Amino acid sequence: MADERIVKLAEILVDHSLEVKAGEKVLIIGSMGSELLIRECYRLIMRRGAIPFTHVFLPELKKVFYDEANESQLQNTEFDELLYQNCDALIQIDAKENLTELTNVDSQKLTVHQKARLPIMEYMMQGKVRWVLTRFPTQAFAQQALMSLEEYEEFVYSATNVDYHALHESMIHISEAFDQASKVRIVGKETDLTIDIEGRKAVICSGKQNIPDGEFFYTPNHLKTEGHIYYQWPTVYGGRKVQGIRLTFKEGKIVEYSAESGQEQLEQALNTDDGAKFLGELGIGMNTGIDMPTSDILFDEKIGGSVHLAVGRAYEEGGEGNKSAIHWDMVKNLKDGGEIYLDGKLVQKDGEWLL
């Protein structure tokens, strides 16, 4: 008998996130570790009268690709383009069994392939296909979160299997105050950063493209970011953990940067292209059910009492913004001495709203 928590998650993905209809073609992308969730999503899609098809990875296959790929193979994305352009909706399930699989891969190869996939990302961001991304609990993710697998499963399903309609309503009031502001100032440990959102409207995220969810975000004016920020919480990029990131912005651009560990990875990412040193997103975490970082951005960026800034590509639904091949979210903890100001007015202190 299927785990009811997995069945519930599949229902959220198929019915709430994608609202699958009869006759639609739905692509499920995952790995062997997500077999149980793939099966339940497949079952529900069939019951909705839609047409499911799958693209399932074997363990360590990505490493084989990067180890063996020549320049032509790195830039060839024809198969992925065929898959994405021939589906109406997409469920992507991340169930890594080895989080350090790509640690020793040539970072330049990662960059080349990522640039080649940019048209696919733009196709998705333009709304040509409905999509949702989720995690499936694995031993590797549990180890990263410093939990047993059973503890991590409880953590995941408590975060994913929520009432997203109620969550949406809870975010409207706060986001409206941001909509009326021009400048967002973030103050905290080694941090005093001002971001311009004049004329922009919040995009409220309540379970349509990410599961778990619980944030609203803006596409800022990427030419007007000023100040500096320090990230106490680590982040993972390209399979590598980067700790203690410090960034300084002037006229929108990162002019100084450092990391306490992972400096090479940080430098590689920020030199991907001309847009990699500008902001693409300001996000406000609103999910109080996630109260601790696990070095998993899909969860960490939703933490209530945090903000996250993405260097690189902006999402088009937030308005016209920065362009880049990368989109790297970095999460700032504000629950310990942090403050948010809107046009000079204090609206959050120590992670608690004052509105």
Query: Residue 92: which CATH number?
Result: 3.40.1830.10
pLDDT of residue 1: 74
Q: What is the pLDDT of residue 128?
A: 86
Q: Of 99, 126, 160, which residue is a domain's last?
A: 160
How many domains are there within the chain? 2
| 136 plus 234 within the same structural domain | no
Shared domain for 183 and 292, answered yes or no, is yes
The string of pLDDT tens digits covering residues 265-288 is 999 999 999 999 999 999 999 998
DSSP character at residue 290: -
Q: Would the pLDDT of 178 be above 80?
A: yes
Determine the pLDDT at residue 53. 96
What pLDDT shows up at residue 121?
Answer: 86
153 and 171 together in one domain: no
- Residue 126's pLDDT is 81
- Note whether 80 and 174 are same-domain residues: no
**Better-scored residue on pLDDT, 300 or 144:** 300
Q: What is the pLDDT of residue 238?
A: 78
Residues 30 and 137 in one domain: yes
Domain boundary among 132, 160, 188: 160
Q: How many CB atoms lie within 10 A of CB 286?
A: 24
Per-residue model confidence (pLDDT) at position 292: 86
153 and 32 within one domain: yes
Q: Which helix (H) or strand (E) covers residue 59, if one does?
A: none
Categorize the per-residue pLDDT at 103 as very low, low, confident or very high, splitting at 50, 70 and 90: confident
Going by pLDDT thresholds of 50, 70 and 90, the confidence category of residue 218 is very high
Say yes or no: 146 and 200 in one domain: no
Residues 92 and 168 in one domain: no
Same domain, 18 and 149: yes
pLDDT digits (tens, 9 = 90+) for 161-177: 989 998 899 899 999 99
Q: Are residues 106 and 38 in the same domain?
A: yes
- Return the closest-CA partner of residue 192 out of 332, 355, 312, 314: 332
Residues 306 and 281 in one domain: yes
Beta-carbon count within 10 A of 271 CB: 11
How many Å apart are CA 264 and CA 273, to the nearest integer?
A: 16
Chain segment 308-342, per-residue pLDDT in tens: 999 999 988 898 999 999 999 999 999 999 999 99
Per-residue pLDDT tens over the stretch 33-91: 999 999 999 999 999 999 999 999 998 999 999 999 999 999 999 999 999 999 999 99
**pLDDT, averaged across the chain:** 94
Residues 288 and 196 in one domain: yes
Domain boundary among 138, 160, 182: 160
Question: What is the pLDDT, as a whole number, of residue 19?
Answer: 97
CB 297 within 8 A of CB 328: no
Is the omega angle on the peptide bond into residue 293 within 30 degrees of 0, that is, cis? no
Q: By residue range, what is the domain housing residue 203? A: 164-353
Q: What is the pLDDT of residue 239?
A: 73
User: What pLDDT is recorded for position 336?
Assistant: 92
What are the φ/ψ torsions at residue 304 (nearest 5 degrees)?
-65, 135
Provide the percentage of residues in the chain whose pLDDT is more than 70: 100
pLDDT band at 349 (very low <50, low <70, confident <90, very high): very high
pLDDT at residue number 107: 85
